[in-house]
Amino acid sequence: MMQGQWSHTAAGQRYTKRFIPTMLAYVVLILGTNWIDNHYHPQGVTLIVLALLPALALVVSIAVMGLYFIEEKDEYLRHRLAIASLGGTGFMLVITTVWGFLEEAGQLPHMPAYWAYILWCMGMGFTQTWYSARTRGGGE
């Protein structure tokens, strides 16, 4: 989720204070674990732990988004978040479903599962952009 209009509410400000450090931790972890993997080639439990660290940051970011949804008292912003989440979910499901069938048919390479999160976030962004344009144009 982008900072946008929810940063004007108390819940939105808490969300921002939680989300930004979580994403910074993700960037540091993904870069750091990739560097360690490329330079030291860890094996076994060490490799598993390194692989899970960036995922942990993304899991925390999902929890942060959920907390925002719970804490936000502005019904309009909650509605927008629900619409964006549904749009993100639909986008992710369409892309991963179509990709999966084409992958199974040997027409596309394997897509790592972590792309689901990336696609969901992209879908949320597309939905937020569409919804903002729709409501600005008086389409609601």
Which helix (H) or strand (E) segment holds residue 2: the answer is none
Q: Which residue, 94, 72, 69, is CA-closest to 82?
A: 69
* pLDDT (0 to 100) of residue 3: 47
Cα(33)–Cα(40) distance, integer angstroms: 10
Predicted local confidence at residue 8, as pLDDT: 87
Cα distance between residue 140 and residue 135, in whole Å: 6
Tens digits of per-residue pLDDT, 52-97? 999 999 999 999 999 999 999 999 999 999 999 999 999 999 999 9
In whole numbers, what is the pLDDT of the chain averaged over residues? 94
Cα distance between the two ends of the chain: 22
Paired tokens of 60: 């925390």
Q: How far does Cα 11 stand from its chain's mean position?
A: 19
